[in-house]
Homo-oligomer: A and B are copies of this chain.
Amino acid sequence: MAVTVECVPNFSEGRRKEVVDKIVYSIRSVPGVKVLDVETDPDHNRSVVTFVGNKQNIQEAAFRGARAARELIDLNKHKGQHPRMGALDVLPFVPISGVTLQECVEIANQVGARIAKELAIPVYLYEAAAKRPERKNLENVRRGEFEGLKEAIMTDDSRYPDFGPRKLHPTAGATAVGARMPLIAFNVNLKSKDVSVAKEIARKVRASSGGLPCVKALGFTLENRGMVQVSMNLTDYTVTPVPKVLDAIQKEADALGVEIAEGEIIGLIPLDAVCDVAARYLRVNAFSSNQVLERRIWG
């Protein structure tokens, strides 16, 4: 099974296609790195690149992306709806296979230190890589954005960067480098038109109100479908597996006398998380994603 680390840098450029192309080209220039997706948003004036590699080449590709962004983007001229503090704004590393979250924290440290040293850009470590608890949350790291941080980084001790100068780079600002698990967007739709039911279940299952760890949940109305929805982000499926979330919702729905209409997986889901669900349904104790035929072929 090949070691696979995912990296999802967000760059503060979503309008000048030639700039985005040059940044992506710099990432692709590292042998063995595969760019899976580039999403460019002109309103946010921001681009999100998704690429994968191993523990070594992912670091080189991330660094080259940071260097290209520093050369090509001037935050003094940047306007967009999305909050940002750097040309390369955020740089998370995500463990996919054959690598742990802790190893991704180490990668974030290595790359963060190199960006600070070689590019003279202050670096903040966030999420699983955070060295101060309040920096786990990206919002705290980026508060004030490029404009507000110019002063704060020099005068406010709580805004001191983890690596690099106590001074924003004049055009590239600062960069948040972190590590996190892959996110799973999982929704459960309920046969009810009463949004308070969905909100109540969301409150019961989400971590922030004492429910399941690593579960974020909100209740919504699905107007066109005459249903309500518990909409979730699962931030670590190894802590709270997907079937456990569904079972908790089922229990709450039973208690409130509402039926589950269907589930929805939005976007991508890691193979191991799919295998958790299948193993649960089949009541298989010893099922591993190593038994998936395609994993033998591709991995």
- The answer to whether A292 and B268 touch across the interface, beta carbons within 8 angstroms, is yes
Q: Is A264 on the interface with B (CB-CB < 8 A)? A: yes
Bound-state Cα–Cα, A281 to B262, Å: 10
* Chain B residue at smallest Cβ distance from A267: B291
Q: Is A269 on the interface with B (CB-CB < 8 A)? A: yes
A-B contact pairs, 17 of them (CB 8 A): A96-B294, A97-B294, A243-B281, A246-B281, A262-B284, A263-B283, A264-B286, A265-B282, A268-B291, A268-B296, A269-B291, A271-B271, A271-B292, A271-B293, A271-B295, A294-B294, A294-B298
Bound-state Cα–Cα, A97 to B4, Å: 22
One digit per residue, 1 when the CB lies within 8 angstroms of any chain B CB and 0 when it does not, for chain A 144-160 equals 00000000000000000
Interface residue ranges, A against B (CB under 8 Å)? 4, 6, 34, 36, 52, 96-97, 182, 186, 242-243, 246, 260-265, 267-271, 274-275, 277-278, 280-287, 291-299
- The answer to whether A36 and B296 touch across the interface, beta carbons within 8 angstroms, is yes
- The answer to whether B298 and A299 touch across the interface, beta carbons within 8 angstroms, is yes
In the complex, what residues of B have CB within 8 A of residue A298's CB?
Answer: 294, 297-299
- The answer to whether B297 and A4 touch across the interface, beta carbons within 8 angstroms, is yes
* Chain B residue at smallest Cβ distance from A182: B293
- The answer to whether B294 and A270 touch across the interface, beta carbons within 8 angstroms, is yes
In the complex, what residues of B have CB within 8 A of residue A286's CB?
Answer: 264
In the complex, what residues of B have CB within 8 A of residue A269's CB?
Answer: 291-293
A277-B277, A278-B278 are contacts. A264–B284 as well, Cβ < 8 Å? Answer: yes
- The answer to whether B297 and A294 touch across the interface, beta carbons within 8 angstroms, is no
- The answer to whether B242 and A262 touch across the interface, beta carbons within 8 angstroms, is no
Bound-state Cα–Cα, A293 to B97, Å: 11
* Chain B residue at smallest Cβ distance from A295: B294
Query: Which of the residues B36, B246, B282, B293 comes within 8 Å of A270, measured between beta carbons?
Result: B293
